[in-house]
Structure formats: C-alpha cells, structure tokens
Amino acid sequence: MYREIKILRQHGIQYVRDLRNQPVSDLFRGRPVISGDITAAEIEKVSSLCPVGAIDKDSGSIDLGLCVFCRECEFCLKEKIRFTNDYRIAASRREDLVIRPGIEAPLRLNVEVIRKEIRRIYRHSLKLRQVSAGGDNSCEMELNASGNVNFDLGRHGIEFTASPRHADGIVITGPVSANMAAALRLTYEAVPDPKVIILVGTDAISGGMYAGSPAVDRSFIEEHHIDLYVPGNPAHPLTFINGILDLLGKK
Amino acid sequence: MNELFREISSNPFTVSLDIIPVLDYEQFCDQAARMLKDESDHCVAYYAVEMQGSLKLICCIANDRDHILRVFSSMLPSGKSTVRSLSKEVPQLHIYEREIYENHSVVFEGHPWPKPVRYPHNRASKASVMDNYPFYRIEGEELHEVGVGPVHAGVIEPGHFRFICNGEKVLHLEIQLGYQHRGVERLLAETRSGIWRCVLCDNIVGDTSVGYALSYARLIESLAGIQPSRAVQIERCIGLELERIAVHIGDTAALCGDVAYQLGQVVCEALRTEIINTTQFWCGNRFGKGLVRPGGTNYKMTAVVADRILSVLKDVGLRFASVSERIYSLQSVLARFEDIGQVTRQQALSTGAVGMAARTCGIRRDIRWSHPDQYYRDYPFEPVVLENGDVLARGQLRVKEVSESINLISGLISDWRNQPDEHSVPDYNCNLSPDSFALSLTEGWRGEICHSAITDGSGNIVHYKVKDPSFHNWMALALAVRNQEISDFPVCNKSFNLSYCGNDL
Ligand code: SF4
C-alpha cells in the first residue's frame, strides 16, 4: 500500500489540462509555411525532390494529404519552407489540406461541409471502431495514446469500441491494403446509420508512400464521403483530438 | 575442392555476387542442415531470386558464438519445380520454404505445412486467396473452433487467429497473416530514388522506425563503402536504444492492462510518453522517423538534446524501477504471468526464434553482441538472458533491458561528448557497388531485423529483401498458447508483441 502511494506521488499529475493549447516541441513537424516569394526554379527543385509528389510543380503548394512529413524539402530550401509545430491540421474537406505559398493562417475546419446530423447526434458521445488497413502501427499507437493517461480523450465522451455494432463511425489507418479491403467494407457495413468516416494519417488519406502500389485497393475510400481528414506520419494524438473536437463543435 | 560457402566476419557486408559459391541443390541442403545442427547457428536469410532465366537460392547463416556469417547459394530451373524440403529436418526453415513456395511455386516435397505466408500481390498462384486459407482441422465432438480477427477488439493491426479448443483449453492455434501486405519489397526494388527508399524504410514498421531506417542505412553504406562520422554512429545507437526503452515500457503498460493492474498500466503509459516526447524533442517525430539516413543525419544531436535525454532517462529509470518492482512482486500479477505461455528452449531453437523470444528461453542471441555493428563493436555489451520462457520472463526481460539500455545510453553520451564535432549529412545518391549481394543485421527491440539487396551491373538495386523478427516469432507464439486457457491468450500475445506489418510487408 505504501509502495503504491510512493509510486503515485512520483507519477504526479500527467494529464494534459488544455488539449487545445498544449505546447509541443519546436521541431515537431506540423503545418508548413511556404514563403510567398518562392521562385519557379526553387519550386522545381523541391517538387522533384519530394518523395511523394506532395509539392505542386506549378504553384509550389504542399498537399498535407500527400506529404509524409519527412521535412526533406525544408532541409533543401530552408529560407523558403518551414514546418511549424502547429499540430491543428485536420480538415473536413480534402482540398483544405493544400497549403499555398504565402499562407500563414492556421488551418480551421470548414464548418459548412460538416453533415448536420454529426453535431446533432454525436456532440456529447462518439464511439468509434478503428480499422487498420495496411497501417504501419505508428498511427494505431498514436490513436491508442489519445485515450491514455496523458491525453484522456475519454473525458469528452469519445472512445474506441470493440465492436462495430456499438460504434458511430470508423477510423481508418493505413493505405488500405488489397488484402484488408473486404474486411474494411464488412466493418463499415456493421456500423449502424448514420455513420462517420475519419481517415487518420497520410497513408489513409492518399495512400502515402504506398499510393500506386499494386497491393493497395483504394476503392472504398473513393466511393465514400469522408467526414474528417487527419494528416500526419503518424498523426499526433493532439491533431486527432483537436480534429474530432472541431468536428463535433466542442470548445 | 572449392570452398562451399563464403565466410564473412563483418556486419553489414557486401560481396560480389560471383564469389558466392553455387552448390547443387542436394549439396546446398546438406550443408544448410549440417550447419544448423549447431545451436549457435541460425538462418538469417534464405530466399529465391529470378536471375537470367533461373531461380537463385541464397542462404545466409549466422553463427553467434564465432561471430561470423556464411553465405552460399544454389540454382533451380525457373518456373514450377519440385525439390526436397528441409523443414522436417530443420524446422526453422519452414517459413522460408513456405515463402519461396508462395512467391515462386517451388514445391518442397515433404514440407509438413506448405501454407501461404502473406498472400503477396505478386504471388505465384492467384487461386490462393485470403478467404480460403487451409486451416488445420481436428475432428471431435468435444472440440470447437474460435476465430478472431482480422479486425480485433483493440486498436491494433489486423491478423486472423484460429483456435481449436477443448472447453477452455487451447489445443492448437493457427495464425493467418497477410492483411497488411503493401508490396514493400517490390517497391524498394523498383524505385531508383534513394531518398524515396529511405523514407519508405521509415514507414515499413512504424513502431520500429529507427531499427528499420538503420538497417537500410547500413546496407546502403556498406554497398557504397561509406561511413558517417563517429559522432553520428553513436547517435544512431542512442536512437535505437531510446526506441527499445519506449516500447518495452509501453509493453509493460499493456501487460498490466490485460491483468487489470491499473496503476502499473497508467504509470508506464506516462513513462513511455516521456521517452517518445524526448525523441520528438530531438527530431520532431515521436517514433524517430527521419532520424537515420545513409551517410549522415538531418538531426544532429546537440548538447541540449543530450542533456535532455540524460535527465529524462534518470527520472524515468527511477520511476520505472519502482513501478516494475511493484508489478512483478504482486501476487495477482504473478498468478497470471508465471508459467503461462511457456516456450521451451528446444521449441525456441527449432522455430529459429530471435530477439526477446529467444533470450527468454536461455538462448544467447542478440546481434548487438554476436554481430555488433558501429559503436556496439567497442562497447562491452552483454545480452540479458532469462530461462523460463513464460510471460513472466518476457515481462522481466523488458525491465532488465530497459535498465541495460539506460546504462548503455549514458555511456554512449559520455563518449559522444569526446568526439570531434564533424557533421555528416545524408547522402541519398551514392554509387552502389555493382553485381553485389549485401546484407545488414540490426537488433531492434523485437529482435534481429535483416535487410538485404542485390545490385545489377550498373549498381542499381534490383532485388530487396526485408525480414522482421516476427517472421520467426509468430510460430513461437502459436506454440506458447498450446494447452493454455484461451483467456490467457491476450497476455501471451502482448508478451510477444509481434509485428503484423513487418511480417506482411
Ligand atoms: S516534408 Fe512533405 S512536402 Fe516536404 S519533401 Fe517531405 S513529403 Fe514532400
């Protein structure tokens, strides 16, 4: 008993009080800022270097749905590209993930496109079923971490369930391997209506490094309306948490 | 007589393809079987490559005691052929033969278990699909089957477990994998971009990003004949050990969670957070993605980072020591772990178990000791070995390895401080040695990771092979649950914590 108390005292208070404004280290790779005066030659240089073609050859914008946050473009062109540690980068529309040169404003969810029933029904309680479909286990671990003693997403009534029958939506990680495509569909079908779909991590949003691999089958993603895109490699728990809180219209 | 194998004493290594002895298949088998009779030998790579219209079999066997690697090869005609299987004689080869059968339709006659490994997109037979996996069956009125997965109750990767039970007791478990297959090896061999390959290697197994990136970087450095500065070599070892500490503590949390010891779970979760946030402080990613690159690094360790690592480790080390001491002295925890999910030494040897799965069964198998690379060569490293092979041993091994790694890192940092401050930057487009075979081994937190590659006449990578420790250890898990209560499966599974994406690639 005394030993337990000693351990608890050493443990102290670990939970993150303010999930909206928790500071993270400077080097964390979050929302990029691209200088407005990036030249055509510079764009050409970084876009040909980017391993996933996330940098548009003409405009020089970075698509966070493709970007795997390797930061190689910044190392190559430090004066013009800078990844800030702003982790609030989730979006409700795919095109909102494209960051244009000269834009320094934070990324906020487009409320117009959020389906009305989501906020009406799930504002106070959202149960999610996670499906890993070719994920590399880093996004999965970050989703688990969202519920741990530090982030404690459960305080907002948001939790992962064991069965899709008890869930209000699914959270997909991974590029959707062809071998998981059927199981993903079955899981989705088992969730009662209305249901939410959330994509977590660059792999899920665009296929990431695996886009174009013959072992990947993206048809499920292409056929369905996606309610929330949470970029990252892996998506940080705070990115996921803030994305969901914004989706549900919570403070 | 020609020598029958090429002996190599360095890890990683690159050899010219034409100096690897080519044996006829019978000789090849006899030699492999003879070597693998020695308990210190285990097979680190055995696979087939299409080459000039035939199928080249390449085998690499590591001897832990003598710290050497031996490579040899054989040729089979391309296309369907039938040859003798070695699996009955040398069970650890069963998984390699299954893989060669699945990829190239070579039939291994007498293989007791010629089943699919991962249903790769380029498998030889498209008639073999996820839905018709040939599960082992036992008939009997008293028996029932329990199927779990591919989607599991928790937030984890997919795989299917099929139990055959007599009441609550598990008679047999078969594990069907492949759901995570993304075509990693094909992608690595097809791309010509060095930067792309590096980034992909960060993302094959996300919980072992540093281990994988390091295996890749060392392979490329060996093929290119380059070395990063000594400071960078030390930094890499620190990154690898931080990864080990974080996962081991996280696994301790998961084990506590499974037996409802909440204090242990919560405290260990918070301690893991401290470690991965330190990795993030260093390189901007909690999993160390992007930290290791061939030839150098983009994230040079600074004195500030070094101080931070030391102070976090000091604090975490103390707190983890006190909580783990409590965990492993509680009757309610011990009752769930002790003698549960036991793997015998003989079983571990015959399945070719590596890493923690081997070291908890009294087998001294640790690449940092047997085939040390970079800074590990200069460090008097002793692997932690336990005997009992049960869940408790796998839990306690983690505790001991955490404290070992913390000591290792403090030693590494003092040495790092004495290094000249030369920064090596990544080299993505180095020229690779042509017509060569290269292999690198890294002791990740799960066990040995093996990467190997073959280059063509112009030094392009034309074949790439990745092997996760889980490739062997899944079989050890299946054996561990035999004759256990099915309700003990979760703790057995957590105590191994194997990789799905690493197996499926
Ligand atoms: S950080 Fe993103 S945009 Fe930049 S090179 Fe990497 S993947 Fe491309």
Q: Domain residues for A126?
A: 111-248
End of a domain among A48, A65, A99? A99
pLDDT over 70, % of chain B: 99
A162 and A215 in one domain? yes
End of a domain among A99, A126, A143? A99
Q: Does B221 touch chain A (CB under 8 A)?
A: no
Q: Which atom of ligand 1 is nearest to the CA of A69?
A: 1
What pLDDT, on the 0 to 100 scale, is given for residue A3? 85
Q: Which residues of B touch A45 (CB under 8 A)?
A: none
End of a domain among A73, A99, A125? A99
CB distance A11–B267 less than 8 Å?
yes
Distance CA B356, CA B397 (A): 8
* Whether the Cβ atoms of residue B213 and residue B293 lie closer than 8 Å to each other: yes
What pLDDT, on the 0 to 100 scale, is given for residue B3? 64
Is there a domain that residue A10 lies in? no
A157 and A93 in one domain? no
Give the pLDDT band (50/70/90) at residue A8: confident
What pLDDT, on the 0 to 100 scale, is given for residue B99? 94
Give the pLDDT band (50/70/90) at residue A12: confident
Among the partner-chain residues A7, A10, A70, the one whose CB lies closest to the CB of B290 is A70
Radius of gyration, CA atoms only, chain A: 19
Which of A33, A71, A78, A233 is the best mutation target for the ligand 1 pocket, counting ligand atoms within 8 Å of the beta carbon and taking the most?
Answer: A71
CB distance B199–A214 less than 8 Å?
no
DSSP class per residue in B91-142: GGGHHHHHHHHHHH-EEEET-S----SS--TT-S-TT--GGG--------TT
A45 and A129 in one domain? no
| Burial B352-389, CB ≥16 within 10 A → b, else e | bbbbbbbbbbbbbbbbbbbbbbbbbeebebebbbbebb
As a whole number, the mean pLDDT across chain A is 92
A70 and A159 in one domain? no
Sign of the dihedral through C-alpha A134, A140, A142, A146: positive
Q: Does B289 touch chain A (CB under 8 A)?
A: yes
Is there a domain that residue A161 lies in? yes
Q: Regarding beta strands A126-132 and A81-83, do their DSSP bridges make them parallel or antiparallel, or are they unpaired?
A: unpaired
Taking residues A22-44, what's their average pLDDT?
92
Smallest CA–CA distance, residue B276 to chain A, in Å, is 11
Q: Which of B118, B115, B85, B102 is nearest to B48 (CA)?
A: B102
pLDDT tens for each residue of B105-132:
899 999 998 999 999 998 888 888 888 8
pLDDT over 70, % of chain A: 100
| Cβ burial, residue A67 (10 Å; 0-12/13-18/19+) | buried
For testing contact with chain B, the best of A3, A137, A146 (most B CBs within 10 A): A137
Is there a domain that residue A116 lies in? yes
* Whether the Cβ atoms of residue B472 and residue B351 lie closer than 8 Å to each other: yes
Which amino acid makes up residue B492? C
A64 and A41 in one domain? yes
| Burial B77-89, CB ≥16 within 10 A → b, else e | ebeeeebebbbee
Q: Does B262 touch chain A (CB under 8 A)?
A: no
CB distance A3–B326 less than 8 Å?
yes
Cα A123 to averaged position of ligand 1 atoms, centre (Å): 35
Count of Cβ atoms closer than 10 Å to residue A186 Cβ: 13
What count of residues does chain A have? 251
Do the interacting molecules here have an ipTM over 0.85? yes
Q: Which residues of A touch B287 (CB under 8 A)?
A: 138, 141, 234
- List ligand 1's pocket residues with C-beta within 6 A: A 50-52, 54-55, 62, 67-73
* Whether the Cβ atoms of residue A179 and residue B119 lie closer than 8 Å to each other: yes
Considering only CA atoms, which residue is closest to atom 6 of ligand 1? Answer: A70
**Residue A195: both structure tokens together:** 């249901």
Is there a domain that residue A75 lies in? yes
**φ/ψ of residue B57, rounded to 5:** -95, 125
Cα A53 to averaged position of ligand 1 atoms, centre (Å): 8
What pLDDT, on the 0 to 100 scale, is given for residue B1? 42
Residues in Cβ contact with A189 at an 8 Å cutoff, skipping those fewer than 6 apart: none
A143 and A93 in one domain? no
A211 and A242 in one domain? yes
* Whether the Cβ atoms of residue B125 and residue B105 lie closer than 8 Å to each other: yes
| Cβ burial, residue B487 (10 Å; 0-12/13-18/19+) | exposed
Which of A50, A83, A233 is the best mutation target for the ligand 1 pocket, counting ligand atoms within 8 Å of the beta carbon and taking the most?
Answer: A50
A236 and A127 in one domain? yes
Residues in Cβ contact with A191 at an 8 Å cutoff, skipping those fewer than 6 apart: A129, A164, A165, A167, A168, A169, A170
Cis peptide before A234 (omega within 30 of 0): yes
A116 and A91 in one domain? no
Residues facing B188 on adjacent strands: none
CATH code, A47? 3.30.70.3270
pLDDT tens for each residue of A165-176:
999 999 999 999
Q: Can you tell me whether residue B470 is helix, strand or coil?
A: helix
Is there a domain that residue A174 lies in? yes
A238 and A121 in one domain? yes
Among the partner-chain residues B121, B207, B290, the one whose CB lies closest to the CB of A178 is B121
What domains appear along chain B, each with residue ranges and CATH number? 6-117 (3.30.460.80), 184-504 (1.10.645.10)
**Residue A155: both structure tokens together:** 């305080």
Is there a domain that residue A162 lies in? yes
Number of structural domains (chain A) is 2
A155 and A87 in one domain? no
Q: Tell me which residue has tokens 């009534």.
A: A157
CATH code, A177? 3.40.50.12280
Q: Does B310 touch chain A (CB under 8 A)?
A: no
Element (H, E) at A33: strand A32-34
pLDDT tens for each residue of B315-359:
999 999 999 999 999 999 999 999 999 999 999 999 999 999 999
Q: Which of A70, A151, A116 is nearest to B209 (CA)?
A: A70
Is there a domain that residue A207 lies in? yes
Q: Does A1 touch chain B (CB under 8 A)?
A: no
| Side-chain-facing half-sphere of B66: CA atoms under 13 Å | 14
CB distance A210–B182 less than 8 Å?
yes
Taking residues A225-232, what's their average pLDDT?
95
Smallest CA–CA distance, residue A145 to chain B, in Å, is 8
Per-residue pLDDT of chain B (505 residues), as tens digits, is 456 889 898 999 999 999 999 999 999 999 999 999 989 999 999 999 998 889 999 999 999 988 999 999 999 887 778 999 999 999 999 999 999 999 998 999 999 989 999 999 988 888 888 888 989 988 888 899 899 989 988 888 999 999 999 999 999 999 999 999 999 999 999 887 889 999 999 999 999 999 999 999 999 999 999 999 989 999 999 999 999 999 999 999 999 999 999 999 999 999 999 999 999 999 999 999 999 999 999 999 999 999 999 999 999 999 999 999 999 999 999 999 999 999 999 999 999 999 999 999 999 999 999 898 877 888 878 899 999 999 999 999 999 999 999 999 999 999 999 988 777 889 888 899 999 999 999 999 999 999 999 999 999 999 999 999 999 999 999 999 999 999 999 999 999 999 999 999 9
Chain B contacts in chain A segment 86-105 (CB below 8 A): none
What pLDDT, on the 0 to 100 scale, is given for residue B52? 84
Is there a domain that residue A53 lies in? yes
A244 and A139 in one domain? yes
Count of Cβ atoms closer than 10 Å to residue B5 Cβ: 20
